[in-house]
Structure 1
């Protein structure tokens, strides 16, 4: 197993460089509550999570996995180097020692992929719009196993960046509660480096049972959201099996998109029905 280049600063390598295998091994060490050695709660505290956040993470099937995902989402300094520093800080050098070869290998592959993408090919033998001839649709999400089945989701979340705070609330209400749904959130779950349109269509068509569209004025200006919505509609004319679910979470100055007017929406802006909002949405996403 090759080691990472000694000149690589691990403090600059994002946490996303660590693949599913390393994350699962890390969870095997940290998930069990331990009275002697530091467990995931100590790591979460060192990452800056407060008491209520840590208690909420206890409901997750793999608290370590959830903590790593949330840390990466909200902290710009969520790097491989910082993770190793935290493990040493909570006196879990045993984990660092055991996993370091696997971590170094992931970092080496990550840096190698960056170099390949930085160096364009000298010659393109053929240019067309056919189905990709490279394994671009393999290993596209954090938990994809290249040697196993692809990662599947209950719903793809279509949103624009200005609505990301509401997407965070959706994650808390649907993934980290009794519903235990699995959402595909592009900024959190998709690995960087692949063609956005190719990966998005793959996820919507083959990996996700349904798609939730977060509607706002900003959504109407987003080319990515427009593509995702129209692609999903092309797969389910007449909204068969409730495949596409529009969600309106704030008031809008612009008219509601006409292509979605024939669908029943989940409206968070109506105070009398807010108490049923998450229940309705969760039930719709839980249908077979």
Structure 2
């Protein structure tokens, strides 16, 4: 869906849903959370997104179901774009929402495109110095962040994973966030806004935003430079993992040797049939500790 604005055209279909910031998501929730007799609410949008009946009934327990379906849709669907969202709002006859929020949506999309353009351009500076960064780089790095930086989004656990293990990450979200556990997980591909240095954001989240770190161990994890950096950075914050507790999780058999850097930590083993029934409750309890 393309919208003409000030002699320029925004191709919303090419912009991921992650471009929509906290303000737009909050306003969407104000429109869609209340039950209406004459207008479609969040349940109609959830159906358009492809959620099943039982999933939608499960979302009713949350105070802000609109926020939850947006986050989970963008984390599980390759079609999660701003254009697709506008298309679905039109299909459920909530053009009033689009009309009222169009200016905010266009502003977020322009910011996303500007960040993307700057990221793709070669960096050229007249001189190199050691001054403190002049931009507030760590403000507004996650979807629910206050852009001013006054209320940074906090999490119960940072999930360290390889992209090939994303299916298990989705299962972890269902078991720990969408049940009575109601934990808040930091999943990089779902929660982090694009446009900032990956290593800087990761360090900020692990050190200052997350109480724990779950490391999903697999053969692919051992080949991931990103996972290696995240694990070693977290361990460097607390030698022996005494304060920033790391929890290694093994969810499928491995051909390679278990990483020696984590051998002294108690393993949460999903592959052990004798303890499978205790797995999620045990992990949830560990992540719930102060």
Question: TM-score, structure 2 length as denominator?
Answer: 0.93
Distance 1:65 1:5, change over 3 A: farther
Partner of 1:272: 274
Partner of 1:52: 54
Q: Which shows bigger deviation, 104-113 or 118-127? A: 118-127
| Superposed structure 1 runs of 4+ greater than 6 Å apart | none
Partner of 1:143: 144
Q: Which shows bigger deviation, 72-81 or 222-231? A: 72-81
Q: How many residues align?
A: 285
CA distance in 1, matches of 2:101, 2:38: 20
Indicate the SS of the match to 1:7.
strand
1:158 to 137, 157, 160: 160
Cα deviation for residue 59 of structure 1 reads: 2.7
* 1:137-286 correspondence runs (5 A): 137-147=138-148, 148-241=150-243, 243-286=245-288
Q: Is structure 2 residue 30 aligned with structure 1 residue 28?
A: yes
Q: Which shows bigger deviation, 166-175 or 75-84? A: 75-84
Partner of 1:86: 88
Distance 1:124 1:285, change over 3 A: farther
Cα deviation for residue 184 of structure 1 reads: 0.4
CA distance in 2, matches of 1:283, 1:146: 32
Partner of 1:106: 108
Question: TM-score, structure 1 length as denominator?
Answer: 0.93
CA distance in 1, matches of 2:208, 2:257: 31
Contact 1:22 1:102 in 2 (8 A): yes
Indicate the SS of the match to 2:142.
coil
CA distance in 2, matches of 1:218, 1:121: 32
Contact 1:59 1:176 in 2 (8 A): no
Contact 2:211 2:244 in 1 (8 A): no
Cα deviation for residue 80 of structure 1 reads: 1.4
Distance 1:269 1:122, change over 3 A: closer
Indicate the SS of the match to 1:162.
helix
Cα deviation for residue 131 of structure 1 reads: 6.3
Partner of 1:66: 68
Cα deviation for residue 4 of structure 1 reads: 6.5
Structure 2: stretches of 5+ with no match in the other structure: none
